[in-house]
Amino acid sequence: MTHHIRIVTPIVSELFTEAQLQPYARDGIRLSHSKLDKGPASIESAFDEALAQPDTLIKILEAEAEGCDAVVINCLGDPALSPAREIVNIPVVGPCQSAMHLANMLGDNFAIVSVLDNVRLLLEHLGAKYGLSERYVGFDYVNISVLDLESDMDALIDSLTEKSIPLIKDNKANSIILGCTGMLGCAQGIRQRLLAEGLDVPVIDPLVAAIQMAEAMINSDLSHSRHAYQTPPPKDIVGYSFPPKK
């Protein structure tokens, strides 16, 4: 039996394609992709995240209506994660939540290397929300915008490695979380460069972690608790057109 996971990229840019995701599909798992029709070109602030949420929710409702077994929100800010869980029954998984909890299992703490300093507070607030602030030991950034990440992947891997080394040596980070899902495909290269420096720590690709978490939930027949994520009461909503639940 094949299960279907929809990857929802909460921006309007063509930053991801379905073909890019296929190496991360396992036997029995189909990965499909959608992006927003309305929203920001990228998410690099709380303002961007707020603009992304309405159409992200619509895309998640559409995924459930189309028979998807789970949804992964393709952004480390986990935009619309909690409200999405209120309105669908299938698992909805966030890369930040997945990566932070995985890092907590692989070591005693973690650090994050991201794109810009703008996202530091957003990610630190998520760490607090997920109960992992005490496990978070540092943050750094490569000063490259999300939309420019793919311009030179080798240089990006070098920069991410350079930023990771002091976090491991000085901050004593046991794991490194890549701070943007646009860094897909970088983890193994960083890991090899760190090993060459004698630094044997996991490097976590948050999108891959979220896909595998979604797969585990499907295989375990688990989804979010209705006691935690209660269905919103019906009411008029002006200016938005959400597809009806089937």
In this structure, what CATH number is given to the domain that contains residue 26? 3.40.50.12500
Give the CA angle between residues 71, 72, 78 to the nearest 5°.
125
Q: What mean pLDDT do residues 153-182 have?
A: 95
pLDDT at 11: 96
Share of the chain above pLDDT 70, in %: 99
Q: Are 111 and 171 in contact (CB under 8 A)?
A: yes
Tell me: do 106 and 54 sit in the same domain.
no
Class of residue 189 by CB neighbours under 10 A (exposed 0-12, middle 13-18, buried 19+): middle
Share of the chain above pLDDT 90, in %: 84
* For residue 243, pLDDT beyond 80: no
* pLDDT at residue 59 in the model: 97
Angle at 29 between CA 21 and CA 202, to 5 degrees: 60
pTM of structure: 0.94
Q: What is the pLDDT of residue 245?
A: 67
Q: Which helix (H) or strand (E) segment is 164 a member of?
A: helix 153-169
The Cα–Cα gap between 26 and 215 comes to 9
The per-residue pLDDT for range 87-131, each reduced to its tens digit, is 999 999 999 999 999 999 999 999 999 999 999 999 999 999 999
Q: What is the arithmetic mean of pLDDT over 229-239?
A: 91
pLDDT at residue 146 is higher than 80: yes
Q: Domain span at residue 48? A: 3-94+208-219
Structural tokens at position 46:
């709380």
Q: Does residue 117 lie in a domain region? A: yes
pLDDT of residue 14: 87
- Residue 27 banded pLDDT, cuts 50, 70, 90: confident
182 and 199 in a single domain? The answer is yes
Residues 84 and 183 in one domain: no
pLDDT at 54: 96
Q: How far is CA 131 from CA 45, 89, 101, 207, 230, in A?
A: 22, 24, 9, 20, 21
In this prediction, residues 9-21 reach a mean pLDDT of: 89
Residue 233 inside a domain? The answer is no
pLDDT value at residue 211: 97
Q: What is the mean pLDDT of the chain?
A: 94
Query: How is residue 156 written in tokens?
Result: 């990006």
Structural tokens at position 37: 């029709």
Is the pLDDT assigned to residue 246 strictly greater than 70? no
Residue 238 lies in a domain: no
* Window from 51-55, 141-145, 158-162, 241-245 with minimum mean pLDDT: 241-245
**What is the count of structural domains for the chain?**
2
